[in-house]
A and B are shown apart, each in its own frame.
Chain A
Amino acid sequence: AQSVAQPEDQVNVAEGNPLTVKCTYSVSGNPYLFWYVQYPNRGLQFLLKYITGDNLVKGSYGFEAEFNKSQTSFHLKKPSALVSDSALYFCAVRVPSSASKIIFGSGTRLSIRP
């Protein structure tokens, strides 16, 4: 079965420290991978994507993610966390051949303490 897992419901990090939000996936073929962020009472905003090419992709607000095919992971990272990064983060995977095969993880709440 195709799935996306975000193993941590919550990640707590001190401001200025590096952060990692984990995502693993299980889909057939070569997936497109995405990270979205959701601030309170708002819709999801696109952060970054991996389609092909360099395994390290850079996105908005200083975030980056590393695609690891052998471990089927796409972890979100940032070298130095800000309090304003506190939000709900979703990993998503899309099967390229299908408009409907978009699978979202359950979300990870990132909390950055001052």
Chain B
Amino acid sequence: NAGVTQTPKFRVLKTGQSMTLLCAQDMNHEYMYWYRQDPGMGLRLIHYSVGEGTTAKGEVPDGYNVSRLKKQNFLLGLESAAPSQTSVYFCASSYSGTGRSYEQYFGPGTRLTVT
């Protein structure tokens, strides 16, 4: 049981380049989330998904797109990277439904630098 995994762990992009971050979970969780973590700002929600084939915007969605074609995978895309997107990105997943308390399980993070 690997939990939540993220690929890659580190990446350096030039301004304007694109990339996709992959998140995978093997816990059969319905909900998945992408956050970014910046110093002194806690975690901010970028996009989330409540099930396969569905996605929604979070607090800071501009400049990012997501897809959830399979229940276990949640992809985060940057179409044209900007220096403001330099951050550490975390994926998380959780159960949903009656009786669940929704605590989240986090991946190890992807450190992205845009120059």
Q: Which chain A residues have a beta carbon within 8 Å of chain B's beta carbons?
A: 9, 32, 34, 36, 41-46, 49, 51, 90, 94, 99-100, 102, 104-107
Q: Mark B17-45, 1 if CB is under 8 A from A, else 0.
A: 00000000000000101000000111111
Contact A99 B48 (CB under 8 A): yes
Minimum C-beta distance from A50 to chain B (A): 9
Residue numbers in B under 8 Å from A42 (CB-CB): 108-109
Contact B90 A44 (CB under 8 A): yes
From the candidates A41, A44, A94, A104, name the one contacting B102 in the complex (CB within 8 A): A94
Residue numbers in A under 8 Å from B44 (CB-CB): 104
Residue numbers in B under 8 Å from A94 (CB-CB): 102
Residue numbers in B under 8 Å from A102 (CB-CB): 33, 45, 102, 104
Contact B58 A44 (CB under 8 A): no
Contact B48 A45 (CB under 8 A): no
Q: List 10 A-B contacts (CB under 8 A).
A: A32-B102, A34-B104, A41-B108, A42-B109, A43-B90, A99-B48, A99-B96, A100-B56, A104-B44, A106-B41
Residue numbers in B under 8 Å from A99 (CB-CB): 31, 48, 50, 56, 96
Number of interface residues of B (CB under 8 A): 25
Q: How far is the CA of A46 from the CA of B93 in the complex (A)?
A: 12
Residue numbers in A under 8 Å from B45 (CB-CB): 100, 102
Residue numbers in B under 8 Å from A32 (CB-CB): 101-102
Residue numbers in B under 8 Å from A9 (CB-CB): 40
From the candidates B33, B41, B42, B103, name the one contacting A46 in the complex (CB within 8 A): B103
Contact B58 A100 (CB under 8 A): yes
Residue numbers in B under 8 Å from A105 (CB-CB): 42
Residue numbers in A under 8 Å from B90 (CB-CB): 43-44
Contact A46 B43 (CB under 8 A): no
Contact A100 B48 (CB under 8 A): yes
Contact B42 A45 (CB under 8 A): no
